[in-house]
Amino acid sequence: MRAAPLKGLHSSSPASCHSNHLLDTNESQKSNSGKTPIQILHEYGTKSGNLPVYVMERAEGEAHQPSFVFSVTVGDVSGIGQGPSKKAAKHQAAEAALKAMNIDAGVMNVPGKSDSNGVAAETNNHPNSVGLLQELALQRGWHLPEYTVLTEAGPPHKREFTVICQLESLSEKGVGNSKKAAKKAAAEKIVAKLQSLSGCSEITWGPKPSVRFENLRNSTAEKISLLRRNPLSIPNTDYIQMMLDLSTEQGFEVTYFDIDELTVNGQYQCLAELSTTPVTVCHGTGISCSNAHNDAAHSALQYIKASIK
């Protein structure tokens, strides 16, 4: 297949040195019931039919000392939180929302769930896309959609907000005269994209299977054990088949993207993309497309082998 312009390929960054501190912070935020504010608020939202929606308002500070600001909305109630990590800021926002609703962690008097089955309906009877995405993610075990405020512009009487909605590998921007309107517009675009990818109004799309390198390191399955033991320097090896066998065993996908331009030496080239977390992309070249694919598969296998030692 021919490659569309590739963009948005990211590598994972090392864990922050503040991880131990953050764990202590999260522990200290647990209530007497042993639940964090995020868990309590989620419980409330599930029972009341208004699932909490978190929005990253901004990220500030230096790389070694970041600061995140998140807001959370549950029905008509909202809260703001700030912290050195996204998780810590979400905890603070959830805590603020709980305080605004006078909810004690130990006792939760929650109104009955509405007939909308957790997805609030708009006054014009159109589904609430923000709520729909939340429900969809929960039902299918996806990561919850994340909303980020990208820009805020215009005079006070005519503000314009741009919000990006990220759901698994999909992302869309929405613009509106309020954060809520921009968030809704972004969610509507994601819903439309899901329907388009599904080929109908019923959403059947699912994200590509993904596997973390930690899982690969801990695996003792046959193919990955062979990769650990055997050299990757044997001539005339079918590395494409070897990669296919490994990906089938470990539960991730491999996609080859042919690049139209030849190398300076006149060779074909391609990229092999592995649906690992984070995504792995390796380059390959050869005297033919199939040779380039084999070279890319070889590079990917070398990368995996080096990463799971």
In three-state secondary structure terms, 297 is helix
Interior angle at CA 306, CA 254 and CA 309, nearest 5: 115
Which pLDDT score is estimated for 127?
Answer: 55
Structure tokens belonging to residue 220: 């003792």
- The confidence score (pLDDT) of residue 212 equals 87
Position 161 scores a pLDDT of 92
pLDDT in tens, 136-148: 888 888 888 889 8
Q: Which domains does the chain have, with CATH numbers?
A: 19-105+119-198 (3.30.160.20), 211-307 (3.30.160.20)
User: How many Å apart are CA 38 and CA 47, to the nearest integer?
Assistant: 14
Ranges of residues in the chain with a pLDDT under 50 are 1-32, 107-126
Strands 146-153 and 53-62: parallel
Measured CA to CA, the distance from residue 31 to residue 37 in angstroms comes to 8
Query: Burial code of 103-122, b = ≥16 C-beta within 10 A, e = fewer?
Result: bebeeeeeeeeeeeebbbee
**Whether the predicted model's global pTM rises above the 0.75 cut:** no
pLDDT tens digits, one per residue of 219-234: 999 999 999 999 999 9
- In this predicted structure, what is the pLDDT of residue 6? 35
